[in-house]
Structure 1
């Protein structure tokens, strides 16, 4: 009688052992293992199950091993995918004032207010179109992650006004990206107003840092 659990575990172990030799090792700053390892494990087990189930009785072991290898490679590939996307974004954003940060397999783009919008306005500044065009091209090329656009303000002025302004700015960026051909189904927007400062609002330099737009890229 076919014992899938035993066969699947064996196949997954073999596939993961092989995958460890070729994966691009990336460890998060907090020491956690990269997410591609998790994806690879899930992919390997799922692939082994499918490979075993779709093979003839005498070839089930071979089918499980092949399925685990293919599934593990596909599942673990997102870490490598982000490596390539990060490198491309750092190249295209160089000299624009846009900061690229990475945490595990998540990417964050930080766009300070001095290059994005005029004071009290949600109209995109003229010098910000070139970076946004580069971002749109990148997002169309790398289309395997969601795009969350978040607007932030300092704490000067009425709270509700800042909340509305931050949402309008996030939506302006989203509208421009979709107009350049980025799939709108991948995009979401939020306005955080002054609720998530990254610096003290007691100084002008701190307030300038807090006036920003962030784009978070995560696996779909």
Structure 2
């Protein structure tokens, strides 16, 4: 893992391959097109995932009050956390992915399940899943957490931008209510941008499925903390 990676922005594009298939939504029991299904185009240049953390300067690292993890331990803790998260959310529709080379963990909450259309209220049936995510963040405290909100295309651009910010804040507030330090968390809304999946409907229109929130967990090393303190 690169030293001081939190202090250097490195935008990168991510391309994802597609395969055919359908899945049963574990929360609703309904059949839906998989995020990797044929006829769907998964979001293109998601450079924000590998970019710097929100407000990614030394002040945020210091303000978060994390001590950092020794380099020799950081890699193992990263592997342990991503494995445990994957096991905890299995069957919920949540995706847990590694970003870069142990640069961050991305927890992607599913479209259409976390929020209803036009709402920033977390569906009550999803609380248990968020409880598992929060428990992981408490167990592994040496990380910064970015919460990204998104919307579908229903409504105006301005309305959707505000709604995406509210969704990100709702998830952040819930994590804090479960013991995650607020100082570790930053939020950002992207509105209709970076749609995760487009599915062609019967009339040939590509419909975005984008009512989601992503939680990016960026581990902090002792080298990161020392570099921040020295700036």
Give the TM-score normalised by the residue count of structure 2.
Answer: 0.61
Partner deviation per Cα, 1:15-53 (whole Å, 9 max, x = no partner): xxxxxxxxxxxxxxxxxxxx1xx44xxxxxxxxxxxxxx
Cα pair 1:154 1:201 within 8 Å, conserved: no
C-alpha distance in 1 between matches for 2:197 and 2:207 = 5
**Distance apart, 1:197 and its partner CA:** 1.6
Cα pair 2:115 2:211 within 8 Å, conserved: no
Partner deviation per Cα, 1:60-102 (whole Å, 9 max, x = no partner): xxxxxxxxxxxxx932321111000001100111111110010
**Distance apart, 1:141 and its partner CA:** 0.3
Task: Please state if 1:78 is matched with 2:74.
Answer: yes
Q: Going by fraction, where is strand more abundant, 1 or 2? A: 2
Cα pair 2:96 2:107 within 8 Å, conserved: yes
In the alignment, what sits opposite 2:119? 121
Runs (5+) with no aligned partner, structure 1: 1-34, 40-72
**1:65-214 map, 5 Å:** 74-103=70-99, 104-105=101-102, 106-200=104-198, 203=201, 206-208=207-209, 210-214=210-214
Distance change in 2, residues 1:206/1:76 (3 Å) = farther
**Distance apart, 1:118 and its partner CA:** 1.5
C-alpha distance in 2 between matches for 1:102 and 1:195 = 22
**Distance apart, 1:198 and its partner CA:** 2.4
CA-based RMSD: 1.9
Runs (5+) with no aligned partner, structure 2: 4-68, 221-231
C-alpha distance in 2 between matches for 1:122 and 1:164 = 10
Distance change in 2, residues 1:199/1:115 (3 Å) = closer
**Secondary structure, in 3 states, of the residue corresponding to 2:208?**
helix
**Stretch moving more, 91-100 or 76-85:** 76-85
Cα pair 1:155 1:201 within 8 Å, conserved: no
Which 4+ stretches in 1 moved above 6 angstroms? none
Partner deviation per Cα, 1:153-188 (whole Å, 9 max, x = no partner): 122320000000010011001111101111111011
In the alignment, what sits opposite 2:219? 219
